[in-house]
Structure 1
Amino acid sequence: MANTPQAKKRIRRNARREVINHSRVSRIRTFIKAVEMALTAGDKGAATSALQAAQPEIARGVARGVIHKNTAARKFSRLTKRVSALS
């Protein structure tokens, strides 16, 4: 258990940041799901536009430190590959 005032403050701060970071990751997942839904439907136009909307969100997640840069690069690569494979 936290004994020092600094440790107690860190616990309070971490709880606040957890809520913010969770909402950011959830938002990113929502954008990725929109791309995947368009892919499963086979709609290349919708998938392309959804991917263009998802890319800045993923990049913003990296900038805010909620996802790792290599994770973002992997998601960019895999989604782009799947969208371009649609004919």
Structure 2
Amino acid sequence: MANSAQAKKRARQSERRRQHNASLRSKMRTYIKNVVKAIATGDAEKARAAYQAAVPVIDNMAGKGLIHKNKAARHKSRLNQHLRKLSA
């Protein structure tokens, strides 16, 4: 347990940030799941719209440092790959 005032404040800040980051991570995962579900239904237009909504959210999370930029690129690439297969 934190003893000094500085350590107590640090613990409070860390907890607040952890919860905020968890919320943002959950939001990103939800957008990705929406694309995956739309692809699973086979509706190309709905899937494309979901992908267009998910890309800025994924990029935003990478910009905030919540996920690595390569992970963001990997998610976008794989989702786009599924979209192209669906359209073909």
Flag as ranges the 4+ runs of structure 1 deviating above 4 A: none
- In 2, the alpha carbon distance for the partners of 1:18 and 1:74 equals 24
Structure 1, gaps ≥5 residues long:
none
- In the alignment, what sits opposite 2:5? 5
- In the alignment, what sits opposite 1:83? 83
SS of 1:23's partner is: helix
- In 1, the alpha carbon distance for the partners of 2:75 and 2:33 equals 12
Alignment of 1:11-22 (within 5 A): 11-22=11-22
Q: Displacement of 1:2 after TM fit?
A: 2.2
- In 1, the alpha carbon distance for the partners of 2:52 and 2:22 equals 23
Report the count of equivalent residues: 87
Structure 2, gaps ≥5 residues long:
none
Identity of aligned residues (%): 48
- In 2, the alpha carbon distance for the partners of 1:63 and 1:33 equals 20
Using the size of structure 1 for normalisation, the TM-score is 0.94
- In 2, the alpha carbon distance for the partners of 1:12 and 1:65 equals 20
Provide the aligned C-alpha RMSD in A. Answer: 0.9
- In 2, the alpha carbon distance for the partners of 1:75 and 1:86 equals 17
